[in-house]
Structure 1
Amino acid sequence: MCTADGTTSVCTKHYTIDPRRDLRNALAGIWKVNVDVHANDGDYVQTDGYTTFFMKRYGKLTVNASPEPVAKGGTITATGKLSRANWDSHDYHGYTNQRAYLEFRRPGTDYYESLGYVTTNSTGVATAKVTATADRYWRYEFRGTMTTSAVKATGDFVDVR
Structure 2
Amino acid sequence: MSTTTTTTLAGLSGLQGAELGTSDWVDVPQERVNRFAEATGDHQWIHVDVERARAESPFGGPIAHGYLTLSLLIPMWSQVLEVTDATMAVNYGLNKVRFPDSVPVGSRVRMTATLTGVTEIPGGVQVTVSAVIEREGGDKPVCIAEPVFRFLA
Larger radius of gyration: 1
More strand, by proportion: 1
- TM-score above 0.5, yes or no: no
Which of the pair has the greater relative contact order for Cα pairs under 8 Å at 6+ separation?
Answer: 2
